[in-house]
């Protein structure tokens, strides 16, 4: 069948997989190599905006591969990239997490540092092994807790990446509480300067418009269950069975796919349909991210490039 867009051509990358008849990620290339600059990309995206949005929802992940980084690279990311960032939906802990995620590779790592991703509707099929447990989780909802450490406590990546300022005025504390509550979280200040956050009830699976009626596992149970600083329970406090959580983790590993970053790659995710993570990386690495539900992909591309 003829490819219906003249402004891109279809390419390939190592690691892509055919999932339910769609290639993930779908790889798109500029029609000619010398059209691989930001201006040409933005103009092609604007011209084909509706088609491009549909392509991302249909394939869940689209990789634009073009050596087009025309600006100088900024410094490598400061986060501890030697550590694994476990699979997650972007910002799933807030009430309505963003639908669109764009990643731009400005500085590919010399080793590791991939962005593995997992289609969640495939995992849902696997969860049919546990119909009673899933039904109970659906019915009761889920509750998560996490403890954000104080600035002085650097024993976890969360503490190092998101330190809590040591001293906060009571006005600032109450402002933080208001904003956190607006995002659907309850918070409690701890004597050591950290905070404990409780969220729930939250759903176990969701069906989003326009995605073939697919039921997505839309939770962060595997990432938070039974960890030192986080927990995931059913909303009434019932434990989620260990074997269910373990098998969910296995499904994630089984269905995961990844490719090697190249300079100039722009990756578009339907974040409602995919989990993503970050593999441990050798430095330096610089992959920039923009996310939104309301902005179109052209605006997000401009965000990651500026
Ligand atoms: Fe992320």
Q: Which residues contact 265 (CB under 8 A, 6 or more apart)?
A: 63, 64, 65, 66, 103, 104, 105, 108
Q: How far is the CA of 152 from the centre of ligand 1 (A)?
A: 25
Q: How far is the CA of 170 from the centre of ligand 1 (A)?
A: 31
Q: How far is the CA of 268 from the centre of ligand 1 (A)?
A: 12
**Both tokens of residue 153?**
């406590």
Q: How far is the CA of 278 from the centre of ligand 1 (A)?
A: 8
Question: How much is the pLDDT for 262?
Answer: 94
CA 97 – CA 99 distance, rounded (Å):
7
Q: How far is the CA of 2 from the centre of ligand 1 (A)?
A: 35
Query: Please, what are the domains in the chain?
Result: 9-116+259-305 (3.60.130.10), 121-254 (3.60.130.10)
Q: How far is the CA of 89 from the centre of ligand 1 (A)?
A: 7
* 16 phi and psi angles, rounded to 5 deg: -75, 150
Q: How far is the CA of 277 from the centre of ligand 1 (A)?
A: 6
Low-confidence ranges of the chain (pLDDT < 50): none
Q: How far is the CA of 36 from the centre of ligand 1 (A)?
A: 27
Q: How far is the CA of 23 from the centre of ligand 1 (A)?
A: 22
Question: How much is the pLDDT for 76?
Answer: 64
Q: How far is the CA of 218 from the centre of ligand 1 (A)?
A: 14
CA distance readout (Å), 66 to 46, 60, 105, 257, 280? 18, 20, 10, 21, 24
Ion ligand 1 contact residues with beta carbon within 5 A: 90
Question: How much is the pLDDT for 267?
Answer: 96
| 195 and 188 Cβ atoms separated by less than 8 Å | yes
Q: How far is the CA of 68 from the centre of ligand 1 (A)?
A: 23
Question: How much is the pLDDT for 160?
Answer: 58
Q: How far is the CA of 86 from the centre of ligand 1 (A)?
A: 9
Question: How much is the pLDDT for 5?
Answer: 82
State the sign of the Cα–Cα–Cα–Cα dihedral 26, 30, 31, 33.
Answer: negative
pLDDT in tens, 17-69: 999 999 999 999 988 876 667 788 888 899 999 999 999 999 999 999 976 65
Question: How much is the pLDDT for 247?
Answer: 93
Q: How far is the CA of 276 from the centre of ligand 1 (A)?
A: 6
Q: How far is the CA of 88 from the centre of ligand 1 (A)?
A: 6
Provide the β-strand partners of residue 186. Answer: 198
Q: How far is the CA of 184 from the centre of ligand 1 (A)?
A: 20
């Amino acid at each position: 069948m003829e490819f219906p867009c003249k402004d891109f051509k279809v390419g390939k990358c190592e690691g892509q997989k055919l999932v339910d008849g769609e290639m993930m990620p779908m790889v798109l290339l500029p029609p000619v190599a010398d059209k691989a600059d930001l201006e040409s990309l933005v103009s092609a995206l604007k011209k084909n905006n509706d088609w491009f949005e549909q392509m991302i929802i249909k394939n869940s992940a689209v990789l634009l591969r073009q050596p087009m980084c025309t600006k100088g690279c900024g410094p490598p990311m400061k986060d501890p990239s030697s550590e694994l960032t476990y699979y997650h939906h972007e910002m799933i802990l807030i009430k309505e997490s963003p639908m669109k995620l764009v990643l731009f590779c400005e500085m590919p790592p010399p080793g590791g540092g991939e962005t593995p991703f997992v289609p969640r509707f495939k995992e849902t099929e696997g969860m049919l092994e546990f119909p009673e447990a899933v039904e109970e989780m659906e019915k009761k909802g889920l509750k998560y807790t996490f403890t954000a450490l104080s600035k002085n406590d650097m024993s976890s990546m969360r503490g190092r990446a998101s330190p809590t300022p040591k001293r906060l005025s009571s006005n600032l504390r109450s402002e933080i509480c208001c904003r956190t509550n607006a995002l659907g979280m309850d918070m409690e200040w701890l004597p050591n300067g950290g905070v404990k956050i409780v969220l729930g009830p939250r759903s176990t699976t969701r069906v989003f418009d326009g995605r073939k009626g697919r039921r997505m596992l839309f939770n962060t149970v595997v990432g938070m269950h039974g960890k030192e600083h986080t927990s995931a329970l059913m909303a009434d406090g019932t434990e989620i069975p260990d074997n269910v959580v373990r098998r969910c983790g296995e499904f994630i590993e089984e269905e995961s796919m990844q490719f090697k970053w190249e300079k100039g790659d722009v990756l578009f995710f339907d974040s409602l349909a995919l989990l993503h993570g970050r593999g441990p990386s050798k430095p330096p690495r610089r992959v920039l991210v923009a996310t939104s539900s309301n902005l179109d992909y052209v605006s997000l591309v401009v965000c990651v490039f500026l």
